[in-house]
Structure 1
């Protein structure tokens, strides 16, 4: 947001963060950002893909020095996997490589509903995380985190769309501020991997 505000100082943002589904009309929102799972979105909304949502398993070099590097998803049952809390209950990480599919029930010392907390605890060497590249790419490039199992793709479900989208009402189609913000997010997210 800092980069956007510096580039467009005349734009005022009213940013609301929530994992819940927002109602654009009732909440008088210009747009919402969602990651996949759009089957409940209204047909009245305009949908624009911003970026792919690729996730990687990673850990700190200190963690791997102490506990070793997993070379197959099955190895994760012997590691402290720090998990994002979902309403679904058990944490299953699904991996796919060619025709091989691995569903791994992971366990760890932390379940939390905040990605930044997970990222920081992982940076501190406590365990492994499964995070989107746009949140951890800078840490990987700086050598603070190391991605593992990169020859596998993470697939929560075979039919689940996991891309990142902007959704807005048709009456915002020609809003210059909406289009500028969407274009900025598209470019920024594509630069993060």
Structure 2
């Protein structure tokens, strides 16, 4: 799956007969990322062929985080061209919602898309299961994808005997990781003894309990 590619079911690459004009925007954070610039461009090309669009311009950001627009020269140039009336296309093709950006404020992501829409340019997310048509369902799914960060599972070489024999470490799993701390806090509130190493057991409390007169 290292170079997995997701495209829509129809994969014929026939040349469009009455093509509209589109720009593509591609972004990759690091060279180790699952979807390379080339894979994104290939999926975008398939999508463009399916809906009779000719890709006339490419904007790209390589090795750039999606958390902010700073240093993303490709996206900055794209938005500047749209605002300045220099865009000679009516569609922007992006692999998926995350490639447009993982902005910490999802309104920022929406703002750049709205800027394009105001100029009469539609942003299309080629690998998503929804059409970005402004419908309620599309809006809900799109905003969920903006909020939920991309997650990957990494299997560790070493065994962490403090957590699990399955070699799993809790990252961003507050519902699980917070339970032990909550128990330790409850014991502290009841006894006045703070135990900072797990497991929280009776023997760690007995010699530290206050004397009873």
TM-score (ref. length: structure 1): 0.27
The structure carrying a bigger strand percent of its residues is 1
Highest RCO, 1 vs 2 (Cα 8 Å, sep ≥ 6): 1
The structure carrying a bigger helix percent of its residues is 2
TM-score (ref. length: structure 2): 0.25
